[in-house]
């Protein structure tokens, strides 16, 4: 959410200054009302009616600015080396982040041959900033082009323009809906009255007979529309319109490996359109929550690279999730937070689990599900887990779909997979010296660096867990060189 939006300029006499802001006082406290105007608008002496003396009502205390402009001014209007690029800076207290795109326009018509300005946003420090970066860039590009075309931001001399800015002079400027920076807003957007002079003002810029919106009003509309609707379309004048929209930022989807198992989160068949990519349609037809990516690619008759690319596309739109291969020889362990929620039956998790994993018309009792879920541990395979419950008198395979129970636990965060790895001391030493060679020409040795799980070996070498262990025993390595570990 946008907490504040501002327009800043570099002025010859005053340096970096905030010219317009929304909401008022979000960056600096306006002091554009001169002492003479204050005397005219509010009497300084109490009025006396008969014997009654009426004192003027105290003015409400202004809200403190969101950030300290004096501290961040060198980042809002930075040095030339940092102009024309996106800049993000946090306030010293770490509460807010300022997003800006300082623009430097060089031309002989400007004092010192340059014109520097910045349109920036103030967000919460922990807010997602990627979506708002486009907004800042669009504001900078749009107003830079308008300045180059018809001098939209610099039509008045610097001194006169500074005199009518925030905290820089004695003229009062009113703006419809934007606060204007002075007490007693004048009638009509963009009107200004100073020493009997009435002229149209465009964001603090004098333009006789102008029809443009003041920049204060533009900033107010941009902030409210983006916060409320996520988009805005604002006509500035007859020739220019500001069109912006906030798009959600999705992080890059995780890499898809051949041993992953895609599980659909919705009915993909109802979403498929005949105009979709042919590879994507063929891959979706074989997603069943059991088959791994390599098998899906084989069944769909597409290359593994294209299959993984199609699945990453589905991951980006959050319609599938990836799980590990399920084997009865695999190990699972409970997660502290997830298993606590399951035991406490948060959000009716136990009933949901019973409906998903029960075999037959009778649902598994809640206490039994809790006992089953909490009995997973490191070092105990699923088969050993089943035998343990059978010895206790409960036939797990008769009443529970074990694969679905494990899948439910992993998806809900109650369980996590404990992977199995193998490491060879001799192979690691050879890798460190750059002299690693396959032992006896066996391709299995490249997996003994401790970085490749058994799931990857099973998928890529088309071997079972028992066959892998048997092959490892016959590698020409010293006794005790191989170590199998779980993590």
For 112-130, what is each residue's pLDDT tens digit? 899 999 999 999 999 989 8
pLDDT above 90 (res 137): yes
Give the per-residue pLDDT at 175. Answer: 36
**Percentage helix, strand, coil, to 5, in the chain?**
35, 20, 40
pLDDT-derived band at 438, boundaries 50, 70, 90: low
Higher model confidence: residue 171 or residue 158?
158
The pLDDT score that the predictor gives to residue 44 is 44
Which stretch of DSSP H or E encloses residue 166? Answer: none
- What whole-number distance in Å separates Cα of residue 206 and Cα of residue 161? 8
For residue 178, pLDDT beyond 50: no
Burial degree of 68 (CB within 10 A; 0-12, 13-18, 19+): middle
What pLDDT is attached to residue 149? 87
Band the pLDDT of 177: cuts 50, 70, 90.
very low
Q: Is the pLDDT of residue 255 over 70?
A: yes
Name which of 227, 203, 204 is nearest 217 in CA terms: 203
Q: Please report which confidence band the pLDDT of residue 289 belongs to, taking 50, 70 and 90 as the band edges.
A: very high
Contact 150, 144 (CB under 8 A): no
Among candidates 106, 69, 105, which has minimal Cα distance to 89?
Answer: 69
Q: What is the pTM of this model?
A: 0.66
pLDDT at residue 484, rounded to an integer: 92
Least confident of 177-191, 206-220, 296-310, 326-340: 177-191
Task: Please state the rounded mean pLDDT for residues 254-279.
Answer: 93
Whether the pLDDT of residue 219 is over 60: the answer is: yes
Mean pLDDT of 455-465: 92
* pLDDT band with cut points at 50, 70 and 90 for residue 59: low
Q: 372: closest CA among 325, 382, 362, 329?
A: 382
Distance CA 353, CA 358 (A): 8
Average pLDDT of 155-173?
A: 43
DSSP conformation class of 326: P
> 63 or 299: which carries more pLDDT confidence?
299
Q: What is the pLDDT of residue 118?
A: 94
pLDDT of res. 417: 95
Mean pLDDT of the chain: 82
- Phi first, then psi: give them for residue 266, nearest 5 degrees: -150, 175
Q: What is the mean pLDDT of residues 246-266?
A: 91
Q: Which of 319, 321, 255, 309 is nearest to 278 (CA)?
A: 309
Q: What does the pLDDT read at residue 152?
A: 85
- Which residue blocks in 24-105 are alpha helix, DSSP H? 35-41, 69-76
Contact between 104 and 80 under an 8 Å Cβ cutoff? The reply is yes
* The pLDDT of residue 197 is above 70: no
Q: Where are the domains of the chain?
A: 2-244, 261-323, 331-418, 420-486
Interhelix angle 402-411/349-357, nearest 10 degrees: 150
Task: Supply the pLDDT for residue 61.
Answer: 63
pLDDT at 476 over 80: yes
Q: Which helix (H) or strand (E) segment is 146 a member of? A: helix 130-150
Rounded average pLDDT over 200-209: 38
- 404: number of Cβ within 10 Å: 16
């Amino acid at each position: 959410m946008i907490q504040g939006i501002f327009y800043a300029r570099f002025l010859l006499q005053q340096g970096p200054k905030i010219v317009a802001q929304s909401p008022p006082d979000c960056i600096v406290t306006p002091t554009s009302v001169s002492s003479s105007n204050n005397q005219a608008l509010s009497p300084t002496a109490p009025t006396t009616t008969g014997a009654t003396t009426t004192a003027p009502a105290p003015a409400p205390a202004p809200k403190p600015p969101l950030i300290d402009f004096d501290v961040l001014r060198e980042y809002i209007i930075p040095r030339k080396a940092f102009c024309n690029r996106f800049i993000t800076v946090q306030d010293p207290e770490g509460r807010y982040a300022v997003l800006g795109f300082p623009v430097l326009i060089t031309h002989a018509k400007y004092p010192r041959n340059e014109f520097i300005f910045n349109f920036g946003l103030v967000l919460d420090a922990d807010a997602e900033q990627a979506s708002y970066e486009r907004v800042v860039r669009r504001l900078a590009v749009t107003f830079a082009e308008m300045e180059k075309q018809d001098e939209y931001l610099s039509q008045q001399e610097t001194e006169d323009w500074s005199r009518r800015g925030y905290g820089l002079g004695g003229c009062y400027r009113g703006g419809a809906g934007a606060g204007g920076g002075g007490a007693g807003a004048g009638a009509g957007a963009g009107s200004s009255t100073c020493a009997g002079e009435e002229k149209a003002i465009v964001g603090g810029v004098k333009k006789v007979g102008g029809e443009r919106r003041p920049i204060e009003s533009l900033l107010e509309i941009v902030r409210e529309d983006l916060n409320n609707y996520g988009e805005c379309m604002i006509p500035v004048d007859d020739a220019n319109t500001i069109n912006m929209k906030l798009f959600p930022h999705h992080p890059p989807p995780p890499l898809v490996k051949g041993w992953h198992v895609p599980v659909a989160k919705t009915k993909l068949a109802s979403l498929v359109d005949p105009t979709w990519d042919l590879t994507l349609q063929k891959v979706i037809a074989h997603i069943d929550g059991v088959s791994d990516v390599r098998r899906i690619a084989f069944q769909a008759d597409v290359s593994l690279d294209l299959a993984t690319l199609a699945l990453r596309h589905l991951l980006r739109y959050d319609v599938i999730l990836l799980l590990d291969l399920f084997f009865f020889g695999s190990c699972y362990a409970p997660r502290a937070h997830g298993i606590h929620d399951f035991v406490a039956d948060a959000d009716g998790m136990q009933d949901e689990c019973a409906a998903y994993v029960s075999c037959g018309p009778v649902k598994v009792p809640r206490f039994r599900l809790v006992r089953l879920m909490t009995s997973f541990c490191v070092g105990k395979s699923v088969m050993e887990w089943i035998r343990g419950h059978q010895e206790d008198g409960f036939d797990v395979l008769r009443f529970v779909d074990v694969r679905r129970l494990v899948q439910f636990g992993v998806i809900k965060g109650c369980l996590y997979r404990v992977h199995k790895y193998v490491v060879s001391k001799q192979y690691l030493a050879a890798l460190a010296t750059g002299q690693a060679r396959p032992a006896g020409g066996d391709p299995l040795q490249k997996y003994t660096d401790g970085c490749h799980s058994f799931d990857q070996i099973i998928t890529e070498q088309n071997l079972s867990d028992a066959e892998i262990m048997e092959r490892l025993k016959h590698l020409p390595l010293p006794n005790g060189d191989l170590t199998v570990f779980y993590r």
